[in-house]
Amino acid sequence: LASYSGVSSLVRLPAGGLTACEETMEIIREAITEVEAIARARGIALDADVLEKTMTFIKAMDAGVTSSMQRDVAAGRQLEIEALSGTVVRYGRELGIPTPVHRFIYAALKPVDARAGG
């Protein structure tokens, strides 16, 4: 959720716009890999193919689907950035796991959230 939500909120396109772009899907893949590494380091049991299952799920989304955080950006509402990418960044820092994609998402959306009163 954090990975797709974060990227879709930055790109501001529905699922079809994201899945049509190979470069954007690669960024989503990298963001999911960060979350997977943190989950495994925290002892959370995941299927070996969780990355591929998640990518398949995203690719199968209806082309018009938008994330709730993306809708919040569009409406000028406070974002879930702290609970999503913010949590990934904090856990990564605690565990010594690099989270460059989520760090960028967090840094890029923090001012948007602040403008909305977050």
Per-residue pLDDT of the chain (118 residues; tens, 9 = 90+): 899 999 999 999 999 999 999 999 999 999 999 999 999 999 999 999 999 999 999 999 999 999 999 999 999 999 999 999 999 999 999 999 999 999 999 999 999 999 999 8
Cα 18 from chain centre: 12
CA–CA gap between residue 73 and residue 89 (Å, rounded): 20
8-state DSSP, 60: T
86: its two tokens: 């913010």
Which domain covers residue 55, as residue numbers?
Answer: 2-115
Whichever domain contains 22, its CATH number is 1.10.1040.10
User: Number of folded domains in the chain?
Assistant: 1
CA–CA gap between residue 9 and residue 108 (Å, rounded): 10
Instruction: Note the pTM of the prediction, 2 decimals.
Output: 0.94
Positions of E strands within the chain = none
CA–CA gap between residue 6 and residue 85 (Å, rounded): 7
